[in-house]
């Protein structure tokens, strides 16, 4: 049961990180008309989106691990 919760938390965190990166990028694009923004700020938003995709990948790997471990006929919470 703990592994299912970890998958859920990871997936939600990944989606939130991607959404925050997209929101930050949109804010930077709208402010670009008024002032000159350094390139490193765009790199931060791209890094946040990439990290969110990575966290979603970890969630998928955990979900696959639950599926593989469950096909062996073992209990998911029994990792001892």
For residues 28 and 45, the answer to whether their CB atoms sit within 8 Å is: yes
- For 56, other C-beta atoms within 10 Å of its C-beta total 18
Instruction: Give how far Cα 70 sits from Cα of 10, 27, 45, 78, Å.
Output: 20, 44, 38, 10
Residue carrying the six token digits 């946040």: 48
Q: Which residues, 6 or more positions from 51, have their beta carbon under 8 angstroms from its beta carbon? A: 17
Residue carrying the six token digits 């931060």: 44
| pTM value surpassing 0.85 | no
pLDDT truncated to tens, each residue of the chain (80 aa)?
Answer: 667 888 899 999 999 999 999 999 999 999 888 888 888 999 999 999 999 999 999 999 988 888 887 777 666 555 55
Q: What is the pLDDT of residue 65?
A: 86
């Amino acid at each position: 049961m703990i592994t299912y919760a970890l998958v859920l938390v990871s997936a939600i965190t990944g989606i939130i990180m991607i959404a925050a990166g997209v929101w930050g990028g949109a804010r930077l694009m709208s402010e670009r008309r008024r002032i000159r923004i350094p390139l490193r700020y765009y790199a931060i938003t791209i890094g946040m989106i990439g990290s969110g995709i990575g966290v979603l990948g970890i969630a998928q790997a955990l979900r696959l691990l639950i599926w593989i471990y469950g096909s062996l006929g073992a209990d998911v919470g029994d990792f001892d």
